[in-house]
Structure 1
């Protein structure tokens, strides 16, 4: 009997949470939550990303000051060791996620 695809997806979700890379991102996020400055910078950065995404989804070109604002965020992030570590750990986790996407979407890509 074939295993239910939703059961497989839920098992994958649980397995991702057990990865050392996932746990490292989780620990870095806890450290940020405990640091008011890092928490504020990250919150503002996420809001900025959402703003740009909404503009693009609405068919609008991002505002002219986008590049300067992005540079400002990059400087603030690089100056904060907690945020630097968080994004570094996220990048390590993203390698797994990219590999999983390739595997999961392989059958769909073959249909194209």
Structure 2
């Protein structure tokens, strides 16, 4: 009997939505969005992050000034307890996704050997 991979993926999506990690992330995100000051600070932080990622993906150099600006932005947002909780929840969710990715990639790793 053939397995429908997409059905399994949607089931995994449902499981993720019902996970403790996702619930904590969602709650932390709602708390940041409910606080105007925290929301603006977090949006600014995310914009800086995305700009640097885009530059990296396009092979552009990141200036020392941009690195310093990013460091200051991280330090600033981490001082806000709501944003710090959100970032911790993002980190936990990211770890879960990385673990899931390892599990999902196991058949290819077994076939081809380690991919990294």
Counterpart position of 1:57: 57
Counterpart position of 1:84: 84
C-alpha distance in 1 between matches for 2:59 and 2:96: 32
C-alpha distance in 2 between matches for 1:14 and 1:93: 15
CA contact (8 A) 2:21 2:92 kept: yes
**TM superposition shift of 1:63:** 2.2
The structure with higher relative contact order (CA 8 Å, sep 6+) is 1
Counterpart position of 1:6: 6
CA contact (8 A) 2:21 2:93 kept: yes
Q: Secondary structure at the match of 1:92?
A: helix
**TM superposition shift of 1:82:** 0.3
Counterpart position of 1:68: 68
TM-score, normalized by length of structure 2?
Answer: 0.88
**TM superposition shift of 1:21:** 0.9
TM-score, normalized by length of structure 1?
Answer: 0.91
Task: Provide runs of 4+ in structure 1 moved above 6 Å.
Answer: none
The Cα offsets for residues 5-43 of structure 1, whole Å up to 9 and x where unpaired, read as 000001101100100111000000001111111111111
